Amino acid sequence: MHAVLVGVVLWSGLMLAPSAVAQQSKDSDSESAICAYEDGKQITAHYTPVATTHTDGPPTGRVLMPGGSAMTFFTETDLILGDSLIPTGGYTMYVIPAKKEWTLIVSRNTAPDAKYDEKQDLARGMMEIGQLSSPAEKLSLYFGHTGQRKCEINIDFGKTRGWVTFKEK
């Protein structure tokens, strides 16, 4: 009976793999967002869900480092962001909010506590932005599986949501 139950639990977990999942990580001060592609390979982002004190959106023109550290980004497959290739591996990730669009940056730097260095940029993607009907109480990041070989990252801050797509190569 136990073996059957384990098999059902494992099978149920596999059924969830293609969908996007947000979850609390082991560190209670951070959260994770995951998206799995059709082949089972995943991308994962870890971030600090800081309170959003601005009702409209994050401060513009400055690199957003929630909780004083970069978001981290891991990919099990080669990706395309904008016109750039992101090889399988681990990176840091930053956002620069502006009034009409945001910029998502994947950096070669792997130290979340390091200061942002533009020379370490690996890829940049222009994020579309829109207004939420009610403000997010904290920074929130999640993925949506938006098509074959596509995962869209969504970042909510205050009343603003930014999004851009990672394409599996």
Give the per-residue pLDDT at 47: 96
Give the per-residue pLDDT at 54: 61
Would you call 87 exposed, middle or buried from its count of C-beta atoms within 10 A (0-12, 13-18, 19+)?
exposed
DSSP summary character for residue 5: H
Asked if the structure places residue 90 within a domain, the reply is yes
**pTM, entire model:** 0.81
> Mean pLDDT per 10-residue run, the chain (169 residues)?
38 36 51 96 96 77 92 97 97 95 96 93 97 91 95 95 97
Give the per-residue pLDDT at 71: 96
Domain that holds residue 46: 20-168
Asked if the structure places residue 89 within a domain, the reply is yes
Give the per-residue pLDDT at 166: 98
Asked if the structure places residue 78 within a domain, the reply is yes
Give the per-residue pLDDT at 9: 34
Among 76, 67, 95, 86, residue whose Cα is nearest residue 155 = 95
Structural domain count, the chain: 1
Rounded CA separation 164/7 (Å) = 37
Asked if the structure places residue 164 within a domain, the reply is yes
Give the per-residue pLDDT at 58: 85
Asked if the structure places residue 35 within a domain, the reply is yes
Helix (H, G, I), strand (E, B) or coil at 6: helix
